[in-house]
Amino acid sequence: MRWLKRIIAAIAILFLWFALTLALVSKERLCNAVIEKAARENVTLCYERRSASLFGCDIASMTLLFAHSPIAKIGKFSATPWKIAAEGIQLEGMAASALPPRIANITILPLKGQIRAMGDFGSIDGTFSLTERTIRLYLTPSSLMRREYRSTLQMFKRKNGKFVYETAF
């Protein structure tokens, strides 16, 4: 699951972008720096339009590529120092073979180290630590996920009746 670690690294890169935003650096320059850093990790962000505000950046109609292969189309992406949010996500390629393709939303709270997501897979509540470089996801799978994506569920450990995925990045 090399691509999963790369995507997690891209999320960590976005967190760095938010920390620098707090230091009052030009948001436009930071958006460019994040896109360039992601490109060095073989992750490409293609988007229709981007706008920077006093607190963050908004991107509409974004496509996420890994090694020039499409991973996801994202309807709306917004980022501030305290919240990263994406809505209307359609997984493609290898990502769509691992999970149901529609994700309603993903919210990351960098200052709290929390992740929440809802989609056809069910719901995810998770935590991450940049200092420990770990991520822990708690999945409540939908019936679709249990029926058609059993191989992905096998990557999760069962703890106290919950599906838990833990990794280091």
d(CA 61, CA 16): 23
Name the more confident of 1 and 47.
Answer: 47
Q: Six-digit token pair at 54? A: 């006093």
Which amino acid, 146? R
Residue 125: what pLDDT? 96
d(CA 41, CA 16): 15
d(CA 10, CA 86): 14
Residue 1: what pLDDT? 63
Name the more confident of 23 and 54.
Answer: 54
Residue 80: what pLDDT? 77
What is the Cα 69 distance to its own chain's centre? 17
Largest Cα span, the chain: 48
> pLDDT tens digits for 93-110?
888 888 899 999 999 998
Query: Helix count (H) and strand count (E) of the chain?
Result: 5, 10
Residue 16: what pLDDT? 65
Residue 20: what pLDDT? 59
d(CA 97, CA 115): 22
Name the more confident of 119 and 81.
Answer: 119
> pLDDT tens digits for 26-41?
566 656 766 787 788 8
> Residue 67 — very low, low, confident or very high, per pLDDT cuts 50/70/90?
confident
